Amino acid sequence: MPAEFSGEAKKRIEEIRSQYPTAQAACLPVLHLAQDEFGYISDDAVGLVARALGLPASHVWGVVTFYTMYHRHPTGKHTLMMCTNVSCMLRGGYDVLHALERKLGCKVGETTADGEFTLIEEECLAACADAPAMISGHKYFLRLTPDAAIKALDEIKKMPADHIPLAKRGSS
């Protein structure tokens, strides 16, 4: 991972910072930016975000480890965040999760051999009324069955990668 944010990213961080009343409030969007730039939030990325916002690294660390949408390790091109919390579990969430494991040939927390998908077991995605639910990128997949989830993989493959650095936007 580069030891610094790119010029574009630094400019964007300034813009983000100007839109929020405090550095703490800007921490979430800047972490999203860092994840887009570097693909995941490494220890180095935590330090960069802390420095960019003038915050203690412990604060940034606390935010990163609280929210599951920040990935602490490299992921595939697309993350499949499959909910197995109560509503989803009661409506077959584990059947969907296990069908995805079988289809992808990888277990929860792993990335497929071709680097296309990382399968993540998630807590509630706030879509309980339409359980079982999964998020990939910015899209929700609702009322999933095992067959529907496997069919969704083709659609997800055609979507842009979850994290694209600012300098590469529009070129991939």
Distance, in Å, from the CA atom of 165 to the CA atom of 10, rounded to the nearest integer, reads 12
* Strand partners for 136: 139
Q: Per CB under 6 A, which region of 3-11, 31-39, 124-132, 145-153 contacts ligand FES?
A: 124-132
| E-state strands within the chain | 78-83, 117-122, 134-136, 139-141
Interface map 46-85 toward ligand FES (x if CB under 6 A): -------------------------------------x-x
- Name the one residue in this structure whose structure tokens are 């999203």: 32
Question: Contacting ligand FES (CB under 6 A), which of 75, 79, 87, 112?
Answer: 87
**Nearest approach, Cβ of 135 to ligand FES (angstroms)?**
9
CA dist., res. 17 & res. 163, Å (int):
21
The residues that touch ligand FES, with contacts defined as CB under 6 A, are 83, 85-88, 124-125, 127-128, 131, 133
